[in-house]
Amino acid sequence: MADRDTTPPAAPDDPATAGAWGTVAAVLRDLRAIDGALYAAVAATRTPTLDRTLRRLSHAADHSKISLTVAAGLALVPGRPRRAALAGVGAVALASAAANLLGKRMVRRRRPDREQARVSVDRHVPMPQSASFPSGHTASATAFATAVGVVLPAAAVPLGALAVAVGYSRVHTGVHYPGDVAAGSVLGFAAAAASLAVVQRPRPGSRA
């Protein structure tokens, strides 16, 4: 099922530029078709055992509640865990701002039509009113997992697995296309890199 995105702007008059623009537009159409097909495949696959678990996980990830709870626990331990918490929270803040204040307002992709795709009601979480692209839940979860995992390597695998599960849960519950989640992941990595650059920056007078 393809989403109902607005059509791209008209191609320029220059033949060479118009040809390149046409190629880009065609690739984007194909990618949207693949995105919609993946969404429809997930919707059509019956997974009654997973439905309730992923619905609860998706809801628990609202407003980065899981990440912030983990950060609160890490912050209680001085040294590297506390620095990891700081890096993680900073990454979440950057990812959330970039996704909600920039990405969603610039792209304005419509949310999937959950009823048309016949997503099981057992999976449903409230459909957000914001634009679909990118996935803010995925961006924040990926940003937190990446930033904390760099500072505290022992946490990288479990937090990374949790971020993947949160991202997939947004497709499973029908509120995002897979492409939204992929974009959210990329945004999360970028936010983590920015946060780490600040947190791990050598302080004046400190040893390298």
Query: Is residue 99 classed as helix, strand or coil in its secondary structure?
Result: helix
131 against 10, higher pLDDT: 131
Distance CA 24, CA 9 (A): 12
Distance CA 157, CA 168 (A): 17
Query: Is residue 28 classed as helix, strand or coil in its secondary structure?
Result: helix
Of 89, 94, 92, 57, nearest to 74 (Cα)? 89
Mean pLDDT of 102-117: 95
The helices-and-strands tally (H runs, E runs) of the chain is 8, 0
pTM: 0.86
